[in-house]
Amino acid sequence: MRKTIVTVLIIITAGLRLIEAQNQPYAPGEKISYQIRYGIVGSGQATLEIKEAFYQGKPVWHAAVTGQTTGLADALYKVRDVYESYIDPENDLPLFTIRNIQEGRYRKYNEVGFDHETRKDSTLIFSDLTGNHRGPKGLLDIVSCFYWFRKYYLAAGKELVPGETYTMMTWFADELYPIILRYRGKETIRIRGSRIECYRFHPVTEVGRVFKTEEDMAMWFTADENFLPVKVRFDIFVGSFHVDMTNYEGLRAPLRYMDQ
């Protein structure tokens, strides 16, 4: 009887791990490179990478977004931006983040720690610039939220309904900052010269100094097992920014091109 119970528990545990693996669209080793284009002189490069690391002696996943200007744009207005997130792989929540901004003469460096365990009703936040704060349970940061979105919204098998919005609360620039993505449907786009089917989302933007409407920003995620962010477009008052994937490595599954 005892052996039977143990066997059943092993089978259940293995089944749960299999389900989790099937719903895990990314893993350490994934790296995506992008080209940034703006007008005639505007150009830059960006990377999105996740790898294994340690935080306070605990194994974590270290995700980083880096962006920099190139060419003439770099000579006119040098940008070197880095956003880092140390994510607990057991619950996909951030433990520690770094925001390191260098844009022209502007500099900003901010470290933030997250405590998701002490309180059952909230997240404790520790910023080196503004001190202690409290946020809602399950609080994300600006980097981890997009990995979270890929896993818990896109890879979870939930039906995506055009027009519906999906909200994640993040801590960004020492404030609570909701990320709201409105789904607009599937769309075929060209990436690296090949056609690929994608889900198109519009982050709801604040109308004002930068954006004219709530949908002046668009993002495309591949409609395959990776749900890879492959394209971003910003339409602002002074023009449009285009961010297109140029290379990738370490994907969980082969990217599904429609031409193949």
Write out the two tokens for 106. 């502007």
Q: Is residue 20 part of a domain?
A: no
**Whole-prediction pTM:** 0.88
Question: In the structure, what pLDDT confidence band is assigned to residue 214 with cuts at 50, 70 and 90?
Answer: low
Averaged over 78-88, what is the pLDDT? 97
Question: In the structure, what pLDDT confidence band is assigned to residue 238 with cuts at 50, 70 and 90?
Answer: low
pLDDT tens across 146-186, in order?
999 999 999 998 899 999 999 999 999 999 999 999 999 99
Q: Is residue 259 part of a domain?
A: no
When mean pLDDT is compared across 10-19, 62-71, 195-204, the lowest value belongs to: 10-19
pLDDT of residue 192: 82
Averaged over 218-246, what is the pLDDT? 90
Q: Is residue 11 part of a domain?
A: no
Q: Is residue 17 part of a domain?
A: no
Q: Is residue 122 part of a domain?
A: yes
CA distance 96 to 57: 13
Averaged over 96-103, what is the pLDDT? 97
Q: Is residue 40 part of a domain?
A: yes
Averaged over 41-68, what is the pLDDT? 96
Q: Is residue 110 part of a domain?
A: yes
Number of domains comprising the chain: 1
Q: Is residue 257 part of a domain?
A: no
pLDDT of residue 176: 97
| Domain carrying residue 200 | 27-249
- 36-40 LR contacts (CB < 8 Å, sep 24+): 36/67, 36/241, 36/242, 36/243, 37/241, 37/242, 37/243, 37/244, 38/73, 38/239, 38/240, 38/241, 38/242, 39/239
